[in-house]
């Protein structure tokens, strides 16, 4: 029987999500990869237990996470039932709908039919009565925002979600969704978007002013740029890296090669801060005023333990900010 460490909360920092009352840990655990049927359940259990012991109280999922789709929620549900059921009120669990999940016209996007069905399926897989945050995973260009918003509103009214979020929306649609849900008095509190040193335009140039105006919080994914902002690429592109795998759409040799000299310079700067490159990259996310939490994945517990140590040095001097800016522009 798992018993959580009593001092876990003492070693974590929690931030309020925008103007809401919900606090999230600076680091949240994403279950996109490494929690499917092809990954040892014992390793998944070790990571989840270790995360909670370190004060990581937020576990982020989606209907299509895992391998195959749905496996991450199923496996999480099994571990939750066996290890975390007594800690339910100490944990924030999120899921999403929007990407392809099942065949036919209702298995993806943002129709009311799709969103309601997907949420019900997710709750069954995880064995939960509700999720704390339910996201629309991506904007649907063919469904009116009003219909998607009404589906999300229904989930709250039915007690299936406490809070609502969106992911991958641009600034205009974020503002429009906020206005619609505000009139419905729906607790829409958070936006989840890609953000890292090599992909920063969406948040910094488009979403930041909207988030400040609306009081929405942000949670960022891919903070390490699929492994680029780690020691993995310091000496070139490894043969077994994601950049050599065609099924990974976010990385390619063409995308990676121009960044290699920048990675080395960033590593040198991280060393002057007594941090690893990955720790500095995570802290860099959190310097943004709107960012409540950063989502990280882990294939083993030691990776998560290293990530948490980024809290030892969160601040950046003006000189460091300028150096990073010059490196990224070089």
pLDDT, one tens digit per residue, over 35-80 is: 999 999 999 999 999 999 999 999 999 999 999 999 999 999 999 9
User: Which two tokens mark 131?
Assistant: 């999720």
Residue 239 has pLDDT above 80, yes or no: no
**Neighbour-count burial of 221, counting CB atoms closer than 10 A to its CB (0-12 exposed, 13-18 middle, 19+ buried):** buried
pLDDT value, residue 29: 98
pTM over 0.85: yes
Residues in CB range of 274: below 8 A, 6 or more apart: 312, 313
Name 224's Cβ contacts closer than 8 Å, sequence gap at least 6: 196, 230, 278, 281, 282, 296
Give the architecture-level CATH label for domain 7-226+290-315. Answer: Alpha-Beta Barrel (3.20)
Mean pLDDT of 170-189: 98
Report the pLDDT value the prediction gives residue 256, as an integer from 0 to 100. 80
- Domain spans of the chain, in order of start: 7-226+290-315
Euclidean distance between CA atoms 307 and 327, whole angstroms: 23
Residue 242 pLDDT: 55
pLDDT at 249 over 60: no
Measured from the Cβ of residue 326, the count of other Cβ atoms closer than 10 Å reads 10
Structure tokens at 196: 């890292």
CA distance linking residue 297 with residue 222, whole number of Å:
9
Helix axes 145-157, 112-126, angle to 10 degrees: 40
Q: Do residues 222 and 250 make contact, with C-beta atoms less than 8 angstroms apart? A: yes
What gap in Å lies between CA 229 and CA 234, rounded to an integer?
9
Contact status, residue 314 vs residue 283, Cβ threshold 8 Å: yes
């Amino acid at each position: 029987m798992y018993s959580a460490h009593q001092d876990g909360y003492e070693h974590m920092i929690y931030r309020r999500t925008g103007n809401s009352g919900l606090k999230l840990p600076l680091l949240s655990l994403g279950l996109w990869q490494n929690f499917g049927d092809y990954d040892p359940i014992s390793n998944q259990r070790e990571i989840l237990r270790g995360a909670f012991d370190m004060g990581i109280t937020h576990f982020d999922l989606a209907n299509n996470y895992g391998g195959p789709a749905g496996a991450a929620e199923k496996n999480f549900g099994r571990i939750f039932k066996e290890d975390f059921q007594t800690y339910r009120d100490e944990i924030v669990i999120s899921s999403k709908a929007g990407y392809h999940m099942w065949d036919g016209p209702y298995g993806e996007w943002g129709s009311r039919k799709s969103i309601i069905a997907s949420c019900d399926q997710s709750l069954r897989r995880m064995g939960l009565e509700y999720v704390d945050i339910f996201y629309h995973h991506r904007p649907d260009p063919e469904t009116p925002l009003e219909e998607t918003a009404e589906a999300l509103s229904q989930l709250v009214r039915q007690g299936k979600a406490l809070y609502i979020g969106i992911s991958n929306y641009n600034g205009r649609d974020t503002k429009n969704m906020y206005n619609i849900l505000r009139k419905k008095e729906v607790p829409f509190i958070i936006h989840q978007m890609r953000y890292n040193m090599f992909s920063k335009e969406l948040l910094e140039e488009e979403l930041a002013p909207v988030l400040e105006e609306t009081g929405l919080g942000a949670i960022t994914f891919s903070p390490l740029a699929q492994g680029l902002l780690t020691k993995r690429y310091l000496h070139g592109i490894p043969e077994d890296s994601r950049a050599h795998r065609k099924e990974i759409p976010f990385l390619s040799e063409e995308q990676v090669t121009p960044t290699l000299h920048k990675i080395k310079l960033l590593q040198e700067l991280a060393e002057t801060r007594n941090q690893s490159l990955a720790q500095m990259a995570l802290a860099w996310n959190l310097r943004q005023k709107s960012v409540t939490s950063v989502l990280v994945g882990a294939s083993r517990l030691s990776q998560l333990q290293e990530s948490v140590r980024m809290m030892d040095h969160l601040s950046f001097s003006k000189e460091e900010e300028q150096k990073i800016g010059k490196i990224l522009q070089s």
